[in-house]
Each structure stands twice: as structure tokens, then as C-alpha cells.
Structure 1
Amino acid sequence: MLRRKRRTARAGSPEALRLVGVGKVYGDAESAVTALDGVTLALPAGSFTAVMGPSGSGKSTLLQCAAGLERPDRGLVVVDGEEMSGGGEAALTRFRRERIGFVFQQYNLLPTLTVEQNTTLPLRLAGRPVDRARAADILRRVGLGDRLGHRPDQLSGGQRQRVAIARALVTEPALVFADEPTGALDTRSARDVLTLLQQSVREHGRTVVMVTHDPVAASYADSVLFLADGRLAGELRAPTADVVAERLAHLGDRAAGRLAAGV
């Protein structure tokens, strides 16, 4: 079952996410690939964190394990003071619906539903009351107040991603996980989406964890966590795009060197 874990963060700054020794391996025996190798981290509530690393570094696996989409092989994942462990898939699904919001690169909107219906879908799936006025207010805040009755094929890519953000926020989650949320967008739409995520943190106290390969996107975050070979490889606070790009290039060179050496 999902067990209550006493919060250890300072008063007034509770932890939104804690990972302790999290490991994940895919495959068996000689074909085994270690995606995460004993990752330990803690993120405070009300923070915006970008996760970056070379291809194969484990950043997507980190997000999936932290969000409860995959079960780690070892270690603890604690979201909003609640430990995700044991129990069945039904309990884990309920936990995600209550505590976690998701924003994906490909939006994952249902084409037959309107903007309003897509936004309130998590509430309906969780059996929670649907406050249409509040949903309309969230959509207004993301710039879609005049699009409630539109369907996804009537929207631009940037507008679809705004619906996805509204959908992620409507349940008032403890954590919002964003997986390459600007990967399919043009520069202007990407900037707008990143600003919305930033505002959800600074103005509404949400906690956002974003996987991205883009140094410019990462510069919108409060801090950047770097991964390499399934392990944490550093942190950068108050990131700028240039410094992020330099750090990422260094990690990529190290990974290429190990690959060439057969390590």
C-alpha cells in the first residue's frame, strides 16, 4: 500500500519529491542495461527543475519512476510526503490522479472531446466533482478562454500544449511532470508554454519537473539536474542557456569517450 512518510524538510518548505537510492535495470543477464543507478535527490515544493543529460543517460526513466509510470527495481520514491511502494496498479493509478499532473510532448488530447472536456477529464476519471467555472478560469489563464468548445484539430500546436497544461493543473497536483513539453513546438509557442509552467510555480506554488534536451528551455527552470550513465552528474542553479549548453556538451564528450573506450 501507499505509506505515509514523515516529511523531513524545513518548516515552510516541504519536499515535493524525494528519491532514495532509486535503481532501474532493463533486460536480463548479458543484455541488462542499467538506466538508473542509485539516484538520490530531494526537490522542495514550489520549485521548477529541469532534468538533462546525453542520450541514454536515464532522464526519461527518472521521470517515469518518479511519476509512478514505472516501478523502480530498488529504492524509494516519495511524492508530497507519501511513499509510493507496494499495492497494486489500481492504488498507484489513484495516487497519480490525486497527486500528479502530466504534460507530454505529443499533448495526448482526445480528439473527440472539446478543450473544456479534455481539461476536466482527470477529474471525471478520478470521480471528483467537475467545477466548470474553475476549469474555465484555468483555461482563461492559459490564454484559451475563448476556445472552450473547440476540439484539438481546431487548435495550433501551442494551443494544444496549453490545454495539456490546463489539464495537468486542474486537479491541483503536488507535482507536474513535463516530458519534452516544447519538443514539437515552434520557438514562440515554446516560449509561451515555458512561461506558463514558470508561472504555475511562481504564482500558484506548483512544483514542476521537466525533462528536456533544450538548454533554452532549461534556462526557464530554477535549477538543472544533470544525469550521465544513470547517475546524478551535477546540479546548476539559476541556469543560463549558454552555461547549460556547455555543461551538456562536456557530459556528451565524457559519454562519447567511454563509448569509444568500450566502457
Structure 2
Amino acid sequence: MNTTNTALALESVRKVYGSGDGAVTALDGVTVTLRRASFTAVMGPSGSGKSTFLHCAAGLDKPTSGRVLLGGTDLTGLRETALTGLRRDRIGFVFQAYNLLPSLTVRQNITLPARLAGRQLDPRWLREIVERVGIADRLDHRPSELSGGQQQRVAIARALVGKPEVLLADEPTGALDTRTGRQVLDLLRGVVDTLGQTVLMVTHDPVAASAAHSVLFLADGKLAGELVRPTPERVAERMTHLGEW
């Protein structure tokens, strides 16, 4: 496989939890390739394997069979210490719940992963990121002094400041109102289109999914299609066929 333009790839990934009669197949032979500088959403009915897909892509879960490649690195053969370092240095994470430390300032929250890794951050890059996400005037505030949308912007800045190869977002607008959620989605699309960031986002919201370049659909642990240049209406229609609504 040509890895020069590939940010992340899952090759025939199968994930089974448990054994014997109690075995549950969460992913069943999923093959996906994400190009660099692409924004991909993942959708599917409850229990379709979305969380397992994200966990395998992040190296948090090891596939039962198949391979996960980050750039040219095969995650499936790595020991846990190597995986921990890889997640810290090469993958950014954004969650529904922000996961900010309340006792730290915005600046300290953003720079914490680099400090823990003993890495120096380029101050110009830090300034560019905080300006891009719209929190340059909030760096000395604590999370409790920010709105939900501002806290999520801090979380995105924290994920981006390490220049990850892939940013993984799990329901990043799930706790936000519609208008704020739209702003966060526009921000994610913007860092893809202008910075060349690669984003993989799990969501249940057709409007959120429509911010992506393409949407992957999962059903019963299998890939059930892809929608390029999605609109909320087309995403909702496809989900209806998968039995979600």
C-alpha cells in the first residue's frame, strides 16, 4: 500500500469481545483508508461498532485480526509502552466531555501534554493555534470561567498543538447547542482545509456529519457504505435505511 498520502488505514479489522457462546463481534472485516488532509465522519445505529472502530484506530483496542496503520506504522504489533508514546506524539483526541483540568488555566491545559512528554512547544505555533480556535484572549482563564463551546475550543487547541498526524473526535458537539456546535464543526473543517490536518469524527448527528468531506456508515460491525459531499438530508436518509430512525 502506498502510505505517502495515507494518514490512517484499517485493513480487514475484526474485533471480537469474549469467547464461546458469549462472543460479540464488534467489527467484522472493516477496511478503510483515510487520506491526509481529509475530514471523515463515522455514523451508524447504536451497537454498529462506531466506538470500537475509533478505539482500534487510536490503538486503544487491539484488533482480533487485521491491521491498523498510522502512516507507515503498524499499530497491531506494538507493545503498550510504544502505543502510549505513539498516541501521545502522533494522535490528537477531542471528546464530548472536553476533559480539561479545572485547576489549570487554559494555557496550562493546552500545553500539559507537551510538558508531560518533556517537549518544548514552538511559541509561534501555540499562538497561531489559539488565535485560530478563537481563545487567544482566554489563556489565563480557568475552564469554569468558559462556556461549553469555549471549553471545546480549548480541547481542540490542546489536540492540535502537538501537530498530530490524525485528530480523533468522539461526538465533539454532543454537549453543545446547535449554534455553538456549528462553530466547532466549522473550526474542525477549517483546520483540515487550511492546515492540512486529518480528522476522523464519530457522531450520531447528520448535521455534524455534513461538515465532513465524506461519511462512513457502519452497521452490525461492517462497513455499510460511504457518502461523499454529504448533506444533513442525505445522511439522515441513509441512516433511515440502516434502521436508525
- With the shorter chain as reference, the TM-score category is over 0.9
Give 1:177's aligned residue: 168
Partners of 1:186 and 1:26 lie apart in 2 by 35
Give the drift of 1:87: 3.2
Superposition pairs of residues 12-23 of structure 1, within 5 angstroms: 14-23=5-14
> 2:71 is matched with which residue: 80, 86, 94?
80
> 1:35 is matched with which residue: 26, 31, 46?
26
CA offsets per residue over residues 115-158 of structure 1, 9 Å max, x none?
Answer: 01111112112221133443233112111011001111111100
For 2:159, the aligned partner's letter is A
> 1:219 is matched with which residue: 197, 210, 213?
210
Task: Say if 2:2 is the partner of 1:8.
Answer: yes
Task: Say if 2:135 is the partner of 1:144.
Answer: yes
Post-superposition, which runs of at least 4 consecutive aligned residues in structure 1 deviate over 4 A? none
Partners of 1:229 and 1:186 lie apart in 2 by 30
Task: Say if 2:230 is the partner of 1:239.
Answer: yes
Matched-pair contact (CA < 8 Å) for 1:227–1:233: yes
Give the drift of 1:26: 1.4
Gaps of 5+ in 1: 1-6, 257-263
Give 2:57's aligned residue: 66
> 1:230 is matched with which residue: 206, 221, 224?
221
For 1:141, the aligned partner's letter is R
CA offsets per residue over residues 185-225 of structure 1, 9 Å max, x none?
Answer: 00111011001100110000000000000000000000000
Secondary structure, in 3 states, of the residue corresponding to 1:162? helix
Partners of 2:68 and 2:2 lie apart in 1 by 14
Give the drift of 1:88: 2.2
Task: Say if 2:210 is the partner of 1:201.
Answer: no
For 1:128, the aligned partner's letter is R
CA offsets per residue over residues 58-90 of structure 1, 9 Å max, x none?
Answer: 011101100111111111000122111223211
- Alignment length (residue pairs): 245
RMSD between superposed Cα atoms in Å: 1.4
Give 1:249's aligned residue: 240
Task: Say if 2:149 is the partner of 1:158.
Answer: yes
Gaps of 5+ in 2: none
Structure 2 length as normaliser, TM-score?
0.96
